[in-house]
């Protein structure tokens, strides 16, 4: 059963083909990053228009590269939310139309479920149950995962998502969009001499708050602007200290989540999980907490079609059916899934 996956929730057009026995057959990604970087962030209307231009050619290319034709595809999985409404509608309408034309089922996939299941595409996938830390541009979630569709929210960000904090702090440092990877590159040349707070770690609970880190960074950057002796090194030091604070805060909360649930397996996914320092802080839990940590490969940390094809395939194999409605939800809590 070949399943076509379509991801268009934000600024990446992702297409993939997955087969339950043969694994991932093909995946293609077109990133709009260059187009949006001119504006310093994602422009929703431009994102939708570019998905319209790129999606169908990418689907054709994916079929060609896989040496499959449309008759081989037995289901279509598309990201139905959360995300930018216009961008989601491009993927949803295309998926539904192709499914109608090809007389096969289409299934609406939750974007964060896609991220959460991305490590399943690796050679050594985690077994259920596990705790998942999902860190992306729009979400920071800790979830107890008993199985596909069995998600209990343990904690979430009360304000900015981890990726959003990276992006905003990068902007304040004068780095372009997308900020996460740029801030990380700068941090490599810096020393974390400034002590940023570790928000919400001094009280019980598994929620996060990252907007304070951003404000803390802003105050330091503003002070630096006025300092006649400032150097490029100072900015790198701010980036390093910020990144370390995020990494340590995430690892404190993950440790707590494992303790609270009594679980030993931790899945870390979403765009921010590509961050080297965050990966290494969390990987330390392997020795210190005897935990097993699972990450997607780097290219599947950020948005991609492979995770959507995988998630949709699991749901289709479980017999899930949906009406012919074009389903898109810009806001969609993961705890509403079943």
Binding partner selected for residue 312 from Zn ion, ligand KG4, none, CB under the kind-specific 5 to 8 Å limit: none
Q: Is 13 in the site for ligand KG4 (CB under 6 A)?
A: no
User: Which two structure tokens, joined as six digits, stand for 333?
Assistant: 């809590």
Q: Which of 62, 136, 169, 275 binds Zn ion (CB under 5 A)?
A: 136
- The SS3 call for residue 105 is coil
Shorter beta-carbon distance to ligand KG4: residue 62 or 302: 302
CB 89, min distance to ligand KG4, A: 17
Q: Is 305 in the site for ligand KG4 (CB under 6 A)?
A: no
Q: Which long-range contacts (CB under 8 A, 24 or more apart) does 201-204 make?
A: 201/249, 201/252, 201/253
Q: Which of 41, 129, 149, 181 binds ligand KG4 (CB under 6 A)?
A: 181
Segment interacting with ligand KG4, rule: CB under 6 A, options 42-50, 141-149, 230-238, 268-276: 268-276
**Which residues fall within 8 angstroms of residue 180, CB to CB, at 6 or more apart?**
137, 163, 166, 167, 170, 271, 272, 274, 275
Give yes or no for a contact between 320 and 306, defined as CB atoms under 8 angstroms apart: no
Rounded CA-CA distance 163/149 in Å is 24
**Which residues fall within 8 angstroms of residue 21, CB to CB, at 6 or more apart?**
none
Q: Is 303 in the site for Zn ion (CB under 5 A)?
A: yes
Segment interacting with Zn ion, rule: CB under 5 A, options 148-156, 191-199, 229-237, 298-306: 298-306
Q: Is 7 in the site for ligand KG4 (CB under 6 A)?
A: no
Which of 136, 60, 63, 74 lies closest to 107, judged by CA? 74
Binding partner selected for residue 237 from ligand KG4, Zn ion, none, CB under the kind-specific 5 to 8 Å limit: none
Q: How many CB atoms lie within 10 A of CB 53?
A: 12
CB 310, min distance to Zn ion, A: 14
CB 272, min distance to ligand KG4, A: 4
Rounded CA-CA distance 222/83 in Å is 33
CB 238, min distance to ligand KG4, A: 15
Which of 307, 317, 320 lies closest to 18, judged by CA? 307
Q: How many residues does the chain have?
A: 338
Q: Is 118 in the site for ligand KG4 (CB under 6 A)?
A: no
Q: Which of 14, 75, 105, 180 binds ligand KG4 (CB under 6 A)?
A: 180
Segment interacting with ligand KG4, rule: CB under 6 A, options 20-28, 144-152, 270-278, 325-333: 270-278
CB 230, min distance to ligand KG4, A: 24
Q: How many CB atoms lie within 10 A of CB 260?
A: 16
Rounded CA-CA distance 57/248 in Å is 42
The footprint of ligand KG4 on residues 203-262 (CB under 6 A) is none
Q: How many residues interact with Zn ion (rule CB under 5 A)?
A: 2
The alpha carbons of the chain give a radius of gyration, in whole angstroms, of 20
Rounded CA-CA distance 237/125 in Å is 37
Segment interacting with ligand KG4, rule: CB under 6 A, options 47-55, 57-65, 98-106, 130-138: 130-138
Residues that bind Zn ion (CB under 5 A): 136, 303
Residues that bind ligand KG4 (CB under 6 A): 10, 136-138, 163, 166-167, 178-181, 184, 270-272, 274-275, 302-303
């Amino acid at each position: 059963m070949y399943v076509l996956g379509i991801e268009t929730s934000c600024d990446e057009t992702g297409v993939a083909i997955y087969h339950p026995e043969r694994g991932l057959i093909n995946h293609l990604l077109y990133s709009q990053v260059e187009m949006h970087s001119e504006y310093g962030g994602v422009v929703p209307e431009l994102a939708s228009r570019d998905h319209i231009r790129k999606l169908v050619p990418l689907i054709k290319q994916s079929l060609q590269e896989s040496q499959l034709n449309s008759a081989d595809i037995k289901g279509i999985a598309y990201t139905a939310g959360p995300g930018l409404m216009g961008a989601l509608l491009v993927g949803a309408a295309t998926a539904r139309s192709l499914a109608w034309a090809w007389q096969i089922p289409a299934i609406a996939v939750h974007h964060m479920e896609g991220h959460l299941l991305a490590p399943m595409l690796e050679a050594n996938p985690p077994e259920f149950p596990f705790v998942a830390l999902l860190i992306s541009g729009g979400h920071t979630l800790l979830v107890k995962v008993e199985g596909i569709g069995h998600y209990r929210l343990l904690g979430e960000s009360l304000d900015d998502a981890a990726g959003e904090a990276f992006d905003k702090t990068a902007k304040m440092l004068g780095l372009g969009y997308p900020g996460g990877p740029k801030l990380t590159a700068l941090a490599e040349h810096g020393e974390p001499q400034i002590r940023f707070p570790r928000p919400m770690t001094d009280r019980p609970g598994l929620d996060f708050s990252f907007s304070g880190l951003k404000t803390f960074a802003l105050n330091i950057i503003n002070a630096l602007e006025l300092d006649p002796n400032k150097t490029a090194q100072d900015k790198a030091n701010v980036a390093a200290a910020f990144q370390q604070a995020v990494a340590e805060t995430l690892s404190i909360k993950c440790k707590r989540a494992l303790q609270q649930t009594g679980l030993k397996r931790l899945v870390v996914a979403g765009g921010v999980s590509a961050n080297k320092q965050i990966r290494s802080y969390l990987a330390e839990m392997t020795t210190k907490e005897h935990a097993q940590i699972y990450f997607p490969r780097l290219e599947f940390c950020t948005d991609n079609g492979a995770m959507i094809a995988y998630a949709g395939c699991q749901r289709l194999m479980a017999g899930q059916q949906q009406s012919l409605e074009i389903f898109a939800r810009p806001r969609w809590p993961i705890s509403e899934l079943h």
